[in-house]
Amino acid sequence: NAGVTQTPKFRVLKTGQSMTLLCAQDMNHEYMYWYRQDPGMGLRLIHYSVGEGTTAKGEVPDGYNVSRLKKQNFLLGLESAAPSQTSVYFCASSYVSGYEQYFGPGTRLTVT
Amino acid sequence: QQQVKQSPQSLIVQKGGISIINCAYENTAFDYFPWYQQFPGKGPALLIAIRPDVSEKKEGRFTISFNKSAKQFSLHIMDSQPGDSATYFCAASYQGGKLIFGQGTELSVKP
């Protein structure tokens, strides 16, 4: 079991560029989440999904879009990157809604 | 209020000592209170969790104390070891499981 994997691990973007972060889980979890982690602010929920084909907004959704076309994958898109989106992004999944979330290793994104 | 306030921001403890991290919340609808441990360059990992109908939960050297009336909960690490050096996050769950995280505590255990 690989658990939760994220690609890429690191990325540098210029302002205005777009990119997609991929999250994959092999635990057959229904629920998947995207968080961003910034110093002194903990982790904040961007978007989440309660099942294949469904997505919902979290605390800080502006500037991001998501898709869950397959149960095992959850994609996070940045259409026009801004320096404020410089952060470490974590994907997580859980079998039951919210409880015992399993996190991936993170993607460090820098927007210049 | 959906915030979870965590303190201290950083903590230095001698090997063998007790590490204590505190969290406070306002929303009485929160129904699940986990603690996550994060090592540098890694994702957070669930350490221990408690529900509000229990006042204490112990797993090995890690204990959660929960005070429902004060809306506070804390993590106690007994016999702290250098391998416990990490960042610890408290969290609270609401609306079917979305987590609100505290700001994090960077723990350093000195040998």
Q: Count Cβ–Cβ pairs < 8 Å, chain A vs chain B.
A: 61
Q: Is B1 on the interface with A (CB under 8 A)?
A: no
Mean pLDDT of chain A: 94
CB–CB contact B96 A98 (8 Å): yes
Contacts of B89 (CB under 8 A, 6+ apart): A42, A43, B6, B35, B36, B38, B44, B101, B102, B104, B105
* Closest residue of chain A to B6, computed from CA coordinates: A42
Angle A17-A48-B49 from CA coordinates, rounded to 5°: 125
> Which of B89, B93, B97 lies nearest to residue A42, judging by beta carbons?
B89
Count Cα neighbours of A95 within 13 Å in the Cβ-side half-sphere: 5
Residue A98 scores a pLDDT above 70: no
Put simply, whether B46 touches A (Cβ < 8 Å) is yes
Which chain B residue shows the shortest CA-CA distance from A38? B103
Kindly identify which residue of chain B lies nearest to residue A90, measuring between CA atoms.
B43
Chain B residues with beta carbon closer than 8 angstroms to that of A90: 43-44
Contact B104 A31 (CB under 8 A): no
pLDDT at res. A96: 77
pLDDT for res B98: 82
Asked if A93 is an interface residue toward chain B (Cβ–Cβ < 8 A), one would say no
Chain B residues with beta carbon closer than 8 angstroms to that of A94:
97
On the question of pLDDT at A97 being above 90, the answer is no
Stronger pLDDT, A40 or B20, i.e. the higher one = B20
Point out the residue among B43, B49, B104 whose CB comes nearest to the CB of A103: B43
CB crowding A7-45: b at 16 or more within 10 Å, else e: eeeebebeeeeebebebbbeeebebbbbbbbeeeebbbb
B98 touches A: beta carbon within 8 Å: yes
Q: Tell me the per-residue pLDDT of B47-62, one tens digit each, with 9 for 90 and over.
A: 999 998 999 999 999 9
**Structure-token pair, residue B20:** 């204590």
- A40: chain B residues, CB-CB within 8 Å: 9, 103-104
| B110 at A interface, C-beta within 8 A | no
pLDDT per position as a tens digit, A59-69: 999 999 999 99
**Better pLDDT: B53 or B80:** B80
> What confidence score (pLDDT) does residue A95 get?
86
- Please report the pLDDT score of residue A44 as a whole number: 94
Confidence of residue A41 (pLDDT cuts 50, 70, 90): confident
Q: Residue A99 pLDDT > 80, yes or no?
A: no
Q: How confident is the model at residue B1 (pLDDT cuts 50, 70, 90)?
A: low
